[in-house]
């Protein structure tokens, strides 16, 4: 019941109640659960042993987003998905068939593919053993010298694959539950936000100087806005963020942050005109406020107009969908946003087997324009060690915001190593999604 929710969730639900048109059922699904407030052991972020246990007990068993379907549109198109020592060739083998093969020659272990591309077969560069796209053996040079091999059974080992929302997922555990079961409430929540009807306008990748969980958790709460993103306080009600943890969902959580209103951290009144001026960063943009309208009203209508102009069709979406930051999380590392103003997707992984280095992917998903073929996959932009998120022009203003986040992550990792306090203390509500994440992590890995 709404009255049982914390004040921020009641605030967001009040905004939803005030919507003038139909509201997606998912927006009404506010939820919180009681949990203990014991510290999180800091060694989960620094220990090589804990990293090794994560690889053995968690990463080997969970569904992970590997790519967008449009990144492998034609038969033979493939991407490489690496996690720890595991490496998968995720390849389209038919119009409606995507498979994932372990990226290792069955002869002497050579990597079959080192990057994305298109092939009609997988040929080992060392001795020339070759497999068909379906993983069946095609050729062994000097086959007479391998009488001990059953060539019909000498197929590339395969991982599980599944698709949802235009994404391809993989699972190293061949006995894993189906993807739709693993995703729990996510498909029903996204019924009104079909991500398969969008396409990536940006895909940027960067290595971060911290444990993958340090990076992930920085994007699971708005509590850090006051210190890390002070320029957003005039336009973002960070402390009024609704954090949703569901009692029957181990893998999915959500947060909704209101935009178009000032934070309570601002110690003065912020007018709607000032909010519009801060939000419309385009030079010469019309920031006039119609009589009787709020900044949120104008921002929502402008968002709908921009969407219609880009996609060639109208969008009957609520103000919350048009303006606010809505972020879902799927354990262990996938964050899809149904939002339209900030249509983001995040993914976080360990960098190899280093517990103090990680890889972050950022995508932007725009609606596919009406009446035209689906745009081709955008080039993946891998930032170099001397580049920042702001060097990825395709991210626009988000690059500068991500740089602010990035500036803290190495300091968090270094501070965790230096700390004499054995655990990390979390806020009871504003960091409840992080608590939920760790509860699920422990269910896989153990203490």
Domain boundaries, the chain: 2-49+185-445, 64-171
pLDDT > 90 in the chain, percent: 93
In whole angstroms, how far apart are CA 155 and each of 99, 130, 169, 351?
Answer: 13, 10, 21, 29
> Could you tell me the fold of the domain covering 64-171?
Rieske Iron-sulfur Protein (2.102.10)
The 3-state DSSP class for residue 74 equals: coil
- Residues 384/373, Cβ–Cβ less than 8 Å: no
pLDDT in tens, 79-95: 999 999 999 999 999 99
Rounded CA-CA distance 447/441 in Å is 9
Report pLDDT for 308: 94
End-to-end CA distance of the chain: 34
Is 105 a residue whose pLDDT tops 90? yes
Is 144 a residue whose pLDDT tops 70? yes
The whole-number average pLDDT for the span 14-32 is: 96
Rounded CA-CA distance 329/255 in Å is 9
Is 374 a residue whose pLDDT tops 60? yes
| pLDDT confidence tier of residue 439, bands split at 50, 70 and 90 | very high
Is 409 a residue whose pLDDT tops 60? yes
The whole-number average pLDDT for the span 128-153 is: 98
How far from the centroid of its chain's Cα atoms is residue 383's Cα?
Answer: 18
The whole-number average pLDDT for the span 255-282 is: 90
Report pLDDT for 285: 59
Report pLDDT for 147: 97
The whole-number average pLDDT for the span 340-362 is: 96
Rounded CA-CA distance 184/205 in Å is 28
How far from the centroid of its chain's Cα atoms is residue 275's Cα?
Answer: 28
| pLDDT confidence tier of residue 289, bands split at 50, 70 and 90 | confident
| pLDDT confidence tier of residue 290, bands split at 50, 70 and 90 | confident
| pLDDT confidence tier of residue 221, bands split at 50, 70 and 90 | very high
| pLDDT confidence tier of residue 1, bands split at 50, 70 and 90 | very low
- Residues 237/225, Cβ–Cβ less than 8 Å: no
In whole angstroms, how far apart are CA 5 and each of 31, 34, 38, 194, 426?
Answer: 7, 11, 22, 28, 19
The whole-number average pLDDT for the span 347-366 is: 97
Q: What is the mean pLDDT of the chain?
A: 95
Report pLDDT for 291: 82
The whole-number average pLDDT for the span 218-223 is: 98
| pLDDT confidence tier of residue 286, bands split at 50, 70 and 90 | low
CA-based nearest residue to 165, from 142, 136, 197:
197
Domain 2-49+185-445 listed as CATH 3.90.380.10: yes
Is 268 a residue whose pLDDT tops 70? yes
Is 283 a residue whose pLDDT tops 60? no
Which residues contact residue 25 at a Cβ distance below 8 angstroms, ignoring those fewer than 6 apart?
192
The whole-number average pLDDT for the span 8-12 is: 97
DSSP 236: B
* Sheet-wide strand order for 344-351: 242-245, 252-257, 325-330, 334-336, 344-351, 354-367, 198-208, 381-382
Is 214 a residue whose pLDDT tops 60? yes
Rounded CA-CA distance 91/117 in Å is 9
- Residues 204/395, Cβ–Cβ less than 8 Å: yes
Rounded CA-CA distance 30/139 in Å is 57
| pLDDT confidence tier of residue 303, bands split at 50, 70 and 90 | very high
Is 400 a residue whose pLDDT tops 70? yes
The whole-number average pLDDT for the span 146-150 is: 97
Is 437 a residue whose pLDDT tops 70? yes
Rounded CA-CA distance 120/132 in Å is 7
pLDDT in tens, 256-266: 999 999 999 99
């Amino acid at each position: 019941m709404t009255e049982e929710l914390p004040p921020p969730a009641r605030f967001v639900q009040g905004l939803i109640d005030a919507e003038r048109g139909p509201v997606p059922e998912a927006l009404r699904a506010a939820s919180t659960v009681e949990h203990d407030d014991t510290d999180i052991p800091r060694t989960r972020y620094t220990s090589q042993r804990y990293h090794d246990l994560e690889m053995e007990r968690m990463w080997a068993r969970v569904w992970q987003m590997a790519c967008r379907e449009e990144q492998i549109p034609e038969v033979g198109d493939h991407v490489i998905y690496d996690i720890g020592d595991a490496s998968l060739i995720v390849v389209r083998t038919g119009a409606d068939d995507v498979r994932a093969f372990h990226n290792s020659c069955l002869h002497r272990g050579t990597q079959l593919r080192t990057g994305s591309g298109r092939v009609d077969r997988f040929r080992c560069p060392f001795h020339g053993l070759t497999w068909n796209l379906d993983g069946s053996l095609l050729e062994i040079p000097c086959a007479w010298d391998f009488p001990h091999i059953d060539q019909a059974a000498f197929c590339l080992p395969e991982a599980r694959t599944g698709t949802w929302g235009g994404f391809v997922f993989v699972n190293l555990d061949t006995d894993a539950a189906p993807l739709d079961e693993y995703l729990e409430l996510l498909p029903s929540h996204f019924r009104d936000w079909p991500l398969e009807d969008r396409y990536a306008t940006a895909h940027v990748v960067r290595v971060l100087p911290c444990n993958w969980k340090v990076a992930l958790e920085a994007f699971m709460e708005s509590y850090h806005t006051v210190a890390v993103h002070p320029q957003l306080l005039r336009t973002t009600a960070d402390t009024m963020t609704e954090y949703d943890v569901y009692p029957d969902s181990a893998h999915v959580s959500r947060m909704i942050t209101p935009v178009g209103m000032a934070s309570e951290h601002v110690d003065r009144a912020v007018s709607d005109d000032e909010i519009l001026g801060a939000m419309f960063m385009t030079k010469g943009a019309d920031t006039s406020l119609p009589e009787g309208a709020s900044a949120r009203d104008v921002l929502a209508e402008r968002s709908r107009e921009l969407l219609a102009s880009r996609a060639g069709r109208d969008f009957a979406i609520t103000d919350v969908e048009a303006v606010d930051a809505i972020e879902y999380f799927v354990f262990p590392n996938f964050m899809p946003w149904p939002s339209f103003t900030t249509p983001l997707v995040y993914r976080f992984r360990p960098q190899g087997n280093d517990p103090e280095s990680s890889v972050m992917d950022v995508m932007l998903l725009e609606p596919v324009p009406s009446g035209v073929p689906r745009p081709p996959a955008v080039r993946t932009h891998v930032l170099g060690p001397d580049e920042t998120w702001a060097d990825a022009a395709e991210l626009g203003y988000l690059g500068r915001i991500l740089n602010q986040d990035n500036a803290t992550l190495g300091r968090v990792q270094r501070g965790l190593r230096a700390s004499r306090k054995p655990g990390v203390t979390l806020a009871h509500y504003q960091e409840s999604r992080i608590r939920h994440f760790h509860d699920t992590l422990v269910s896989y890995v153990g203490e």
